[in-house]
Amino acid sequence: MSNKAAVIHEKGTPDVFRWEEWPVGEPGPGEVLIRHGAIGVNYIDTYNRRGMPHPWPVPPLPLVLGIEGAGTVEAVGEGVTECAVGDRVTYASPPHGAYAQRRVMPAKRLVRLPDSISDEDAAGITLKGLTAQFLLRRTYRVQPGDPVLVHAAAGGMGLILCQWAKHLGATVIGTVSTDEKAELAKAHGADHVAIYSREDFVPLVMEVTDGKGCPVVYESIGKDTFTRSLDCLRPLGFLACYGHASGAPDPVDVVELGARGSLFVTRPALMHYMEEREDLVAAAQELFGVVSSGAVTITVRNRYPLREVAEVHRAIEERRTTGSTVLLPFA
Ligand code: NDP
């Protein structure tokens, strides 16, 4: 059976992708073979393509990147109970290998999809939606009336965080780089938006919070914003430093966290929050619930054939995308 994939033989620029045959193999015990309908693109994939350090292990070269996909189960290995042939499933987890038409995946990492969510929508919301779930409900549990700061508010994570935080009753303050992105963030729940490419966001946060600061900042930019994000926190506030699109932030001075008001800083990652299958299934149920109620609309704004993944990586790194981006493996 032919199986094409976007393979990389070296780490580097988006030019490293090659559209090639890639062996898929049979599912072993506890594994399933999935025919992808759509594949999710995540900023994390660009860290891995470049070879930046990241907590999710990357296999040796040559390799197929990608940790999010949705499709149909074509075969199951021995002992699989989580799904059956013909089921539609989605996942957001290592092992890498999603940038392919078909792949083998551990069944325990899969979630069955409701009929109401297409493969494209699932590939646009599974990883980012599960991440939003743990950030808003577990890393810090957002309460009605909380002012929360969401960086890159028009991005894939940003549009989901804004909508979901708003649904929980938060006052959402977003940051974005352009006027167009500001409008988009506002249309998805942001009450206030700072355009941080030309203005400091701390004064806006202080104005909205009567000088108190936020109980939580969802920080995904890293180096460029980290210290100013700390400036936005009230005493006992949480800095959820869940990504670093501009590069890793400088080391944290723990003594300074005390002086600033007993602050909490964490670097939360999806793989740790979803390690236990019961946590994964519960988070997915909550995610599908907010999607089916209409509280969170799925924001797939960019669709490309998988074979054009190099252009997709360029677009996301050059900040040209908004919302989620999916790849179509058979287009
Ligand atoms: P996005 O669609 O949000 O793209 C990244 C955005 O970051 C850009 O659109 C841009 O928005 C902003 N940005 C700011 N500075 C830079 C820069 N120097 N270079 C590039 N972009 C920059 O991507 P995702 O939704 O896929 O991911 C968002 C973040 O969430 C990433 O940092 C990612 O690593 C993290 N993440 C972490 C997870 C975890 O488990 N910890 C899971 C999922 C995502 P603007 O132009 O408005 O500034």
Asked if pLDDT for residue 104 goes beyond 70, the answer is: yes
Q: What is the CA radius of gyration of the chain?
A: 20
Q: What would the pLDDT profile of 186-228 be if each residue is shown by its tens digit?
A: 999 999 999 999 999 999 999 999 999 999 999 999 999 999 9
Is 111:139 a contact under the CB 8 Å cutoff?
no
* Count of other CB atoms within 10 angstroms of residue 109: 20
Asked if pLDDT for residue 106 goes beyond 90, the answer is: yes
Instruction: Supply the residue whose CA is at minimum distance from atom 18 of ligand 1.
Output: 246
For residue 313, the cross-strand partners are none
- Pick from 94, 161, 154, 86: which is nearest to 128 by CA? 161
Asked if pLDDT for residue 330 goes beyond 80, the answer is: yes
The rounded Å distance from CA 245 to ligand 1 centre is: 5
- Contacts of 249 by beta carbon, 8 Å cutoff, 6+ apart: 222, 223, 226, 227, 241
Q: Is 201 in the pocket of ligand 1 (CB under 6 A)?
A: no
Q: What would the pLDDT profile of 278-293 be if each residue is shown by its tens digit?
A: 999 999 999 999 999 9
CA 68 – CA 38 distance, rounded (Å): 9
Q: What would the pLDDT profile of 315-324 be if each residue is shown by its tens digit?
A: 999 999 999 9
CA 251 – CA 204 distance, rounded (Å): 26
Residue 17, SS3 per DSSP: strand
Q: Is 44 in the pocket of ligand 1 (CB under 6 A)?
A: yes
- Pick from 329, 327, 295, 315: which is nearest to 124 by CA? 327
CA 76 – CA 57 distance, rounded (Å): 25
Q: Is 177 in the pocket of ligand 1 (CB under 6 A)?
A: yes
Give the pLDDT mean for 247-255.
95
Is 160:125 a contact under the CB 8 Å cutoff?
yes
Residue 123: which region, alpha, beta or left (left: phi > 0; alpha: psi -120 to 50)? alpha
Asked if pLDDT for residue 176 goes beyond 70, the answer is: yes
The rounded Å distance from CA 23 to ligand 1 centre is: 32
Q: What would the pLDDT profile of 46-67 be if each residue is shown by its tens digit?
A: 999 999 877 677 899 999 999 9
CA 45 – CA 67 distance, rounded (Å): 8
The rounded Å distance from CA 214 to ligand 1 centre is: 21
Give the pLDDT mean for 66-71.
98
The rounded Å distance from CA 65 to ligand 1 centre is: 18
CA 298 – CA 331 distance, rounded (Å): 21
Structure tokens at 252: 């944290």
In ligand 1, which atom is closest to the CA atom of 270? 40
* Count of other CB atoms within 10 angstroms of residue 187: 13
Structure tokens at 186: 């506002």
The rounded Å distance from CA 28 to ligand 1 centre is: 35
Asked if pLDDT for residue 268 goes beyond 70, the answer is: yes
Is 38:69 a contact under the CB 8 Å cutoff?
yes
Q: How many CA atoms lie within 13 A of 133 on its CB side?
A: 23
pLDDT for the residue 151: 98
CA 147 – CA 270 distance, rounded (Å): 23
CA 287 – CA 310 distance, rounded (Å): 30
- Pick from 326, 329, 294: which is nearest to 121 by CA? 326
Q: What is the dihedral of CA 218, 207, 209, 223, to 10 degrees?
A: 20
